[in-house]
Structure 1
Amino acid sequence: MGILYEDVVLIKEAEKPGDHTVITVNCPDKTGLGCDLCRIILLFGLSIARGDVQTDGKWCYLVFWVSGIYYYRPEFQQPKPPDVFLLKFWCYYDREGLLHDVTKVLCELELTIKRVKVSTAPDGKVMDLLFVTDTRELLHTKKRQEETVGHLKAVLGDAMICCEIELAGPEVTACSQGSSFLPSAIKEDMFSLELPSEHPNGSSASNTISVIVDNSLSPSHSLLQIHCQDHKGLIYDIMRTLKDYNIQISYGRFFANPKGNCEVDLFIMQVDGKKIVDPYKQNALCSRLRMELIRPLRVDMVSRGPDTELLVANPVEVSGRGRPLVFHDITLALKILNTRIFSVEIARHRIYDREWEVYRILLDEGDGSLLPRKEIKECVTKKLMGWE
């Protein structure tokens, strides 16, 4: 299979229901290219069923067989930091799924949520503060603001009292910041660097994943072989880990079968063009991959005083970006469970020399009908992992 030296992105739609859409990319190679492309594919709500990668060190040819486009939120690097806007609205009352419905509308409008603050007044009224950026860079215009308010009114109906959009100055943004403090007990439990004995699906972790580095098949590359259970964003999790380790992929194939098992073969080398022969580096890479594939996201239920709090931690790449659409999936899971949200804080924390995007969601226990914690944790985990 030859490589054409020309930038190309081709999308071939599925010919019939059940077939995969084929995305072909031909572009200059770079360390972390696979991670960046997989993140974009994940951002558009697509699942990767199979893939081929080939490179000569300068140009790269990639083919992805994908399925499942349901929603999207384009997000591209800006030449300068985008303006942050404060979207504030009041509702007469709260209801199950309200925040998810708002999140879904904003995703469809190509508005990226940076921070959320939800407050419930004693009389039952709800005030939501959302700090957002606009991919189209038009939210400063009257037309774009009216479009946004109109879509929100359509989904919230008579529950909405009012809605305002304004440019968020530094003083407003500073006042919105959630607590940067995380209790030490939470840090030790959620962010442990030790491999868990149990996979999130309940099976033994040692039986669900295998990561091996083999240097016997190629004079210039190490073969990385991974066998594991499939989950949403699996290839992205592999690629972001290799990107963090400055590992380049020269050739690779991955395949997920209908039973939910995934096989990945990648011929890799270090950024200096050499194989990974150092046993310490091999063990470090394999251990990190096992950890990232067993626990790509951290989910837990904790007590916050007399209340119950849902915690979700999303690892941030060295480049400063994290997995997309996490908040969308969290709110969708809570909507399915008919569980209301009392307040939300989103902040970044550096723990054990790694940066995490942490979602702290205080659940509404007003009527005393909150589901068991284990059931909530399982539902949120399954939605994030794509285990329907």
Structure 2
Amino acid sequence: MGILHDDVVLLRQSEKEGEPSVITVNCPDKTGLGSDLCRIILFFGLTVVRIDVSTDGKWCYLVFWVIGKPNTRWSLLKKRLIGVCPSCSSASGISYYRAELQSPRPPDVFLLKFCCYDRRGLLHDVTAVLYELELIIEKVKISTTPDGKVMDLFFITDTRELMHTKKRQEDTYDNLKSVLGDAMISCEIEMVGPEVTVCSQGPSFLPPEITEDMFDSEVVDEHRGGSPACKKASIAVDNLLSPSHTLIQIVCQDHKGFLYDIMRTLKDYNIQISYGRFTMKSKMDCELDLFIMQADGKKIVDPNKLNALCSRIQMELRRPLRVALVNRGPDTELLVANPVELSGKGRPLVFHDITLALKMLSVGVFSAEIGRYMVGDREWEIYRVLLDEGNGLPVPKTKIQEAVWKMLMGWE
């Protein structure tokens, strides 16, 4: 095609603070590319204010207008975006969509184990370091001992695929040491088998109150005190405007990861986007128009398929994550759940945002763990955090749930 590798992604940073930077992606298309790109943008903490998408089924052109942060690593962002784009040679068209079905080699899993003296906000500080180093937290188990020590077990994968090297392990240790200081007692990193990330389906690990409060009903009953939801979300479908595409029009309240939630849903349904436009109508409200078709190149005319797709999108708009507080004996457990892509990827920054919200409320954590469970026909990533109530909670429980929800939704 004559396009240089570095020109697949072009970045134009804004010259004035508060104005959007522009990311242009020009590469061969693949089903789910929009989801992969939006996931990376979400991981880097950028806010998308506008997007234009256009593709002919073989080649695509995407433009993102994003608001960055003072510490945004733009060069690294560009590298990560290029990494998920298909190579130019894949645009031949013959084996194009078949390449999407090939499963990549699962990443190596490492166990980061360290012991330190506990303090308020420690868990978030550690989590922030791991995200800064581009280490993905797959599972975590944290426990507090009676003498004020914390044993943390983080099962992690390395985006840079360098954790097997001595230098990468030393860099990780040094960064943790800079945050923990003299509170760190010991720290070890070792490779473990991939079986630690296998989804656990044992019903004994999920008490009935969890599934009842978080998964049984898609309609939120505020009197039950269940998981919060966005109240504004409307979807309109038009199959007459285009002879070859189904038009989906969405108007809703914006939230962190909004585009990722829509794109991953379409990816899971194997739906291709031919044209799309996202715009912010106000500080909180947004509109998204998508011209879509099935993998066979036809519009969606089957009413059952169309209703199923719209119902799933509606659910993802209203409740992209589930947040609830439940009683666990005399203690209180914070639960957060988010759906896992069919590709096996979970939503980024969830644990980071949970721990940040608790730190800002000065709420301590007694123990925490992350696991994957099958609930119904979907796999969920569930975060279970047992709150430290030794001296009582500093704020009401309802405020804790609300603060965590707002942090995850980007409404803090």
- TM-score, normalized by length of structure 2? 0.85
Match of 1:86 in 2: 111
Deviation at 1:322, TM superposition (A): 1.6
Query: Counterpart of 2:24 in structure 1: which amino acid?
Result: T
Deviation at 1:251, TM superposition (A): 0.6
d(CA) in 1 for partners of 2:46, 2:341: 20
Q: Are residues 301 and 374 of structure 1, via their aligned partners in 2, closer, same or farther at CA, if it must alter by over 3 Å? A: same
Query: Counterpart of 2:48 in structure 1: which amino acid?
Result: I
CA contact (8 A) 1:178 1:345 kept: no
Q: Secondary structure at 1:152's aligned position in 2?
A: helix
Query: Counterpart of 1:248 in structure 2: which amino acid?
Result: Q
Match of 1:332 in 2: 356
Q: Secondary structure at 1:80's aligned position in 2?
A: coil
Q: Are residues 144 and 244 of structure 1, via their aligned partners in 2, closer, same or farther at CA, if it must alter by over 3 Å? A: closer
Post-superposition Cα deviations, 1:226-283, rounded to whole Å, max 9, x if no partner, equal 0000000001111111111121111110111343100011111111111122222222
Query: Counterpart of 1:43 in structure 2: which amino acid?
Result: F
Match of 1:60 in 2: 60
Q: Secondary structure at 2:307's aligned position in 1?
A: helix
Aligned pairs for 1:103-114 (under 5 A) are 103-114=127-138
The answer as to 2:253 corresponding to 1:229 is: yes
Gaps of 5+ in 1: none
CA contact (8 A) 1:6 1:27 kept: no
CA contact (8 A) 1:28 1:59 kept: yes
Aligned pairs for 1:118-267 (under 5 A) are 118-168=142-192, 173=196, 181-196=205-220, 205=231, 208-267=232-291
CA contact (8 A) 1:226 1:265 kept: yes
d(CA) in 2 for partners of 1:362, 1:345: 9
Q: Percentage identity across aligned positions? A: 67
d(CA) in 2 for partners of 1:304, 1:312: 15
Match of 1:308 in 2: 332
d(CA) in 1 for partners of 2:363, 2:352: 15
d(CA) in 2 for partners of 1:119, 1:179: 22
Match of 1:22 in 2: 22
Q: Secondary structure at 2:404's aligned position in 1?
A: helix
CA contact (8 A) 1:195 1:291 kept: no
Match of 1:319 in 2: 343
Match of 1:367 in 2: 391
The answer as to 2:314 corresponding to 1:295 is: no
Q: Secondary structure at 1:382's aligned position in 2?
A: helix
Post-superposition Cα deviations, 1:6-46, rounded to whole Å, max 9, x if no partner, equal 76211111121111010101111222221111111111211
Q: Are residues 54 and 358 of structure 1, via their aligned partners in 2, closer, same or farther at CA, if it must alter by over 3 Å? A: same
CA contact (8 A) 2:209 2:326 kept: no
Q: Are residues 86 and 6 of structure 1, via their aligned partners in 2, closer, same or farther at CA, if it must alter by over 3 Å? A: closer
36-45 or 275-284, which moves further after superposition?
Answer: 275-284
Q: Secondary structure at 1:350's aligned position in 2?
A: strand
Which one of 98, 104, 115 corresponds to residue 122 of structure 2?
98
Deviation at 1:158, TM superposition (A): 2.0
Post-superposition Cα deviations, 1:274-318, rounded to whole Å, max 9, x if no partner, equal 112222222221111111010000000001111110000011011
Gaps of 5+ in 2: 85-102
Q: Are residues 179 and 346 of structure 1, via their aligned partners in 2, closer, same or farther at CA, if it must alter by over 3 Å? A: farther
CA contact (8 A) 2:115 2:186 kept: yes
d(CA) in 1 for partners of 2:408, 2:352: 9
CA contact (8 A) 1:178 1:347 kept: no
| Root-mean-square deviation over aligned CA pairs | 2.7
Query: Counterpart of 1:319 in structure 2: which amino acid?
Result: S
Q: Secondary structure at 1:263's aligned position in 2?
A: strand
Q: Secondary structure at 2:210's aligned position in 1?
A: helix
CA contact (8 A) 2:274 2:292 kept: yes
Q: Are residues 50 and 167 of structure 1, via their aligned partners in 2, closer, same or farther at CA, if it must alter by over 3 Å? A: same
Q: Secondary structure at 2:354's aligned position in 1?
A: helix
CA contact (8 A) 2:361 2:394 kept: no
11-20 or 71-80, which moves further after superposition?
Answer: 71-80
Q: Are residues 229 and 197 of structure 1, via their aligned partners in 2, closer, same or farther at CA, if it must alter by over 3 Å? A: farther
Match of 2:87 in 1: none
d(CA) in 1 for partners of 2:182, 2:399: 32
Query: Counterpart of 2:254 in structure 1: which amino acid?
Result: D
Post-superposition Cα deviations, 1:61-115, rounded to whole Å, max 9, x if no partner, equal 11010113456798778953333222222223x2111011001111112222222
Match of 2:379 in 1: 355
Q: Secondary structure at 2:390's aligned position in 1?
A: coil
- TM-score, normalized by length of structure 1? 0.90
Q: Secondary structure at 1:42's aligned position in 2?
A: helix
Query: Counterpart of 2:366 in structure 1: which amino acid?
Result: F
